[in-house]
Structure 1
Amino acid sequence: MSQPRAAKVLVIGYVWPEPRSSAASGHVMQILETFLQQGWDITFSSPAGAGEHPADLTALGIRQVPIELNNSSFDAFVSELAPDVVLFDQFMMEEQFGWRVEKHCPNALRVLETSDLQSLRHARHQRLKERLKASADLEDFNELFAPALRQEFELMADADLAKRELAAIYRCDLTLMISEVEIELLVQQFMVPRELLHWCPLMIDVPTRPSTRFEDRAHFLSIGNFRHSPNWDAVLWLKTTIWPLIRQQLPAAQLHIYGAYTPPKATALHNAAQGFHVMNWAEDALQVMSAARVCLAPLRFGAGIKGKLVDAMLCGTPNVTTPVGAEGMHGLEPWPGAITRTAQAFADSAVQLHNDRTCWLAAQAKGLHLLGQRYRQAQHGPALITRIEECRRNLGSIRRDNFTGSMLRHHQHKSTQYMSQWIEAKNRQPQ
């Protein structure tokens, strides 16, 4: 009996993956590796320019094909490729290319990979800005952290970004969600059918070798891509409020801040006399994380789950964060460090973890336990493949039952299609 043909997959990326620069790219790479383990044939395309630290997809056996926005050359490309599955990395790629995929490859399963709910992150950012305008207090942001899902819905519901993002979710056959909290927000408040969503968190192999000892580590660490606005805001809160509180208790303390695409406004914060070191990009994030004693992630807004905190657990590095940082990450499991709501509590927890070896070791053990309970690739990788195969087998009934998605494709996609075609025609006109 002949073996079934390997699935042919097209991934349309918002950017070319840079797993050493962002957790979002790391998650995309984990999905690609899961597909490769199945022997699937993968093509990765993106309209973006090359980044500074791209993954070598070709070395993994993945074809790389640049594509253009608002250009019918994509139609010929996707028709010839004839993929069985098309995965859109972020909803803007579904907006741009979804109607073309539907037109030329109607039987391809359309999957959306969200990384996080951008509309939720944006709404929380707006709420923080309003709070900062209303009060000069930089110590207590308790009212911002983990409000009820209904409050989040009311914050998001009138925004164009939420309508666009939810429309893309409905137009796809399956959406991969990295956070269980965001799944519940979509299901309970936006009334998205649960069967359109699949929980796919970061997927890792739990380490078996011992990590660097407490005695062999030094200093605090904060890490994150500076192009991601929650990371930049976290650095500002560290600089203005949290780090001075830590230095009051530990006058010799040192903080090393790493991040890809470090802007001049970040390097301007570097102050060796204050122990505040802006270190730019880390070629090996796990190496610098393993050398640190405590990871600091004072996130005042954001969405999804935090790759830096998974990396901290992988390296056996306890962390201090906020309810936003820990959201969707630990379920009912204990947190490997501290979750705090004020700058003073953040600083006190950071100092305790830095100084108290017993407390530090207990937090480290919780991190390894949490990884094993919630982030094992051996669990989530096969579950993802099973879900995709089920959707491929039942594609007709999925689309029939998703009438809202069908309606949105009929109306919204037509306007997107015509706008794209108008832009293409305009670009062809002589200047």
Structure 2
Amino acid sequence: MKTLLVIGYVWPEPKSSAAGSRMMQLLNGFQQAGYQIHYASPAEFSAHAEDLSDYGITSSSIELNSSSFDQFLLEQKPAAVMFDRFMMEEQFGWRVEKHCPDALRILDTEDLHCLRHARHQACKAGASIQKTLNISNEFLYSDLAKREIASILRCDLSLMISEAEMRLLTERFNVPSEIIHYIPFFRPIPNDSLWLDFEERQHFVSIGNFRHEPNWNAVRYLKENIWPAIRKKLPDAELHVYGAYPPKKATQLHNEKQGFLVKGWAEDAYEVVSNARVLLAPLRFGAGLKGKLVDAAECGTPAVTSSIGAEGMYQNHIPVLIEDTADAFAECAVSLYQDQQRWKTLQNECLPMIKERFDEAQHIQEFLNRLADQEQNLSQYRLTNFTGAMLRHHSMKSTQYMAQWIEAKNKL
């Protein structure tokens, strides 16, 4: 059986973040493609991390800037290596190139870090959400972008979670479409007969890992700019704020008199989203797809979000309201919370949206087909990606020498 080595930036935590959930989906997809998976990471193991052995996946801890990884590679002899985010490709890619030159090199971008960073900088500079959405080259063409795009070009295939980001890569960075593949979150078709009705639900909900800066920014934006207007018109309403790893500065926002309740970790995210009447996601910057909005649709929970939150998410069926100013966002939230007919209209869009955009069977089959094609025609794909070969020749050398220098320094 062929082996896939996954070099993880972190250990997967599907209950903590959409990134962790997506990683588990990808691992399942590779298993369906016939791969035996070995997951390795230099990160410290977390108490919330998934037990990969339950899924027939072996795991190892590895070291940064250590030649011990070279021997590890020779023992594993992987047919394919997937780097979890471009930082892992930068760190370990040259070693894979040296010791396993015929292995298929795959990059899971998660989301485009350079895009998220650029939008964050634009937001801090006072740009509107629309200007942040349509980011200018002034913010986009950063050193981080140069690193990330170089990593994408060095790999044989990069997995993209957002079609909007694929367009940005091909149109703004001239990345060949042949080396990128769209694979979003995917879900089994939910049973809508289990969804609670309008009258059975109460309160608003917000959810997202607090370590993810766009989520933390959104919580503060809710607290300072949106929730007071909602609470003024709905004095008995509550906002329940959930998310993994809440810092003290987040829990200090908890205020029962204001109905702003910071709940922290949610053992079952689907349960808390299913019981809420409306999900609020006023994201002001970010990239990729928003797992919280996919979860909301899966639970039949209408939402209010921003243009940033909605980017790449919807096509013909839209189970959310989209507003980009605090006042308009609050007004929509109040209206949706009170208007049963409008709420039901949006809920009826949830199931068709999941089927249209995130159908598990469709995306896994497309992924399996792409993997098979990439494996069978790897030499030809590499011949057509001269820029990637050039980057591996030059930039990998600098990364290699830096890693060897750090290793030598650590031995002193």
Query: TM exceeds 0.5?
Result: yes
Note if contact 1:91-1:114 (Cα within 8 Å) is conserved in structure 2: yes
Shift of 1:130: 0.8
Q: In the alignment, does 2:32 pair up with 1:37?
A: yes
2:345 corresponds to which of 334, 339, 362: 362
Shift of 1:155: 2.4
Note if contact 1:153-1:190 (Cα within 8 Å) is conserved in structure 2: no
Q: In the alignment, does 2:13 pair up with 1:18?
A: yes
Secondary structure at the aligned position of 2:82 is classed as strand
- Alignment partners' CA distance in 2, 1:294 and 1:183: 30
Note if contact 2:78-2:100 (Cα within 8 Å) is conserved in structure 1: yes
Farther off after superposition, 33-42 or 176-185: 33-42
Match of 1:399 in 2: 382
Note if contact 2:129-2:307 (Cα within 8 Å) is conserved in structure 1: no
- Alignment partners' CA distance in 1, 2:40 and 2:373: 25
- Alignment partners' CA distance in 2, 1:39 and 1:412: 33
Secondary structure at the aligned position of 2:352 is classed as helix
Shift of 1:364: 1.0
Note if contact 1:145-1:341 (Cα within 8 Å) is conserved in structure 2: no
Match of 1:124 in 2: 119
For structure 1, the 5+ residue unaligned runs are 1-5, 133-140
Shift of 1:52: 3.3
Corresponding letter in the other structure for 2:60? V
1:232 corresponds to which of 216, 235, 246: 216
Note if contact 2:161-2:185 (Cα within 8 Å) is conserved in structure 1: yes
Shift of 1:41: 0.4
Secondary structure at the aligned position of 2:126 is classed as helix
Match of 2:228 in 1: 244
Aligned length: 411
Shift of 1:142: 4.6
Shift of 1:24: 0.9
Shift of 1:337: 1.9
Q: In the alignment, does 2:205 pair up with 1:221?
A: yes
Q: After superposition, give the CA deviation of every residue in 1:251-287 in whole Å (9 maximum; x if it has no partner).
A: 1110000010100000010000000000011011001
Secondary structure at the aligned position of 1:131 is classed as coil
- Alignment partners' CA distance in 1, 2:172 and 2:242: 37
1:319 corresponds to which of 299, 303, 315: 303
- Alignment partners' CA distance in 2, 1:131 and 1:124: 11
Shift of 1:88: 0.5
2:274 corresponds to which of 290, 300, 304: 290
Shift of 1:145: 4.8
Secondary structure at the aligned position of 1:345 is classed as helix
1:348 corresponds to which of 315, 326, 331: 331
What TM-score results when the alignment is normalised by the length of structure 2?
0.98
Shift of 1:7: 2.7
Q: In the alignment, does 2:96 pair up with 1:112?
A: no
Corresponding letter in the other structure for 1:327? E
Output aligned runs, 1:407-426, within 5 Å.
407-426=390-409
Match of 1:136 in 2: none
Match of 2:79 in 1: 84
Shift of 1:357: 1.4
Q: In the alignment, does 2:365 pair up with 1:382?
A: yes
Match of 2:286 in 1: 302
Note if contact 1:9-1:42 (Cα within 8 Å) is conserved in structure 2: yes
Note if contact 2:52-2:59 (Cα within 8 Å) is conserved in structure 1: yes
Shift of 1:144: 3.2
Secondary structure at the aligned position of 1:33 is classed as helix
Note if contact 1:145-1:322 (Cα within 8 Å) is conserved in structure 2: no
Corresponding letter in the other structure for 2:382? R
Corresponding letter in the other structure for 2:42? P
- Alignment partners' CA distance in 2, 1:212 and 1:85: 44
Match of 1:66 in 2: 61
- Alignment partners' CA distance in 2, 1:340 and 1:269: 24
Note if contact 2:238-2:261 (Cα within 8 Å) is conserved in structure 1: yes
Q: After superposition, give the CA deviation of every residue in 1:128-167 in whole Å (9 maximum; x if it has no partner).
A: 11107xxxxxxxx3543532xxx4444211x110000000
Q: After superposition, give the CA deviation of every residue in 1:276-313 in whole Å (9 maximum; x if it has no partner).
A: 00001101100111111100000000000000000000
- Alignment partners' CA distance in 2, 1:185 and 1:246: 36
- Alignment partners' CA distance in 1, 2:130 and 2:24: 36
Q: After superposition, give the CA deviation of every residue in 1:53-75 in whole Å (9 maximum; x if it has no partner).
A: 11111111000111110011111
CA 1:286–1:419 in 2, change beyond 3 Å: closer, same or farther? Answer: same
- Alignment partners' CA distance in 2, 1:11 and 1:234: 32
- Alignment partners' CA distance in 2, 1:99 and 1:212: 52
- Alignment partners' CA distance in 2, 1:297 and 1:384: 30
- Alignment partners' CA distance in 2, 1:264 and 1:142: 28
Note if contact 2:122-2:132 (Cα within 8 Å) is conserved in structure 1: no
Q: In the alignment, does 2:81 pair up with 1:98?
A: no
Shift of 1:334: 3.4
RMSD: 1.1
- Alignment partners' CA distance in 2, 1:209 and 1:337: 17
- Alignment partners' CA distance in 1, 2:198 and 2:131: 34
Corresponding letter in the other structure for 1:146? L
Q: After superposition, give the CA deviation of every residue in 1:198-248 in whole Å (9 maximum; x if it has no partner).
A: 001001101024212221111000000000000000001000010001011
Note if contact 2:129-2:284 (Cα within 8 Å) is conserved in structure 1: no
Corresponding letter in the other structure for 2:400? Q
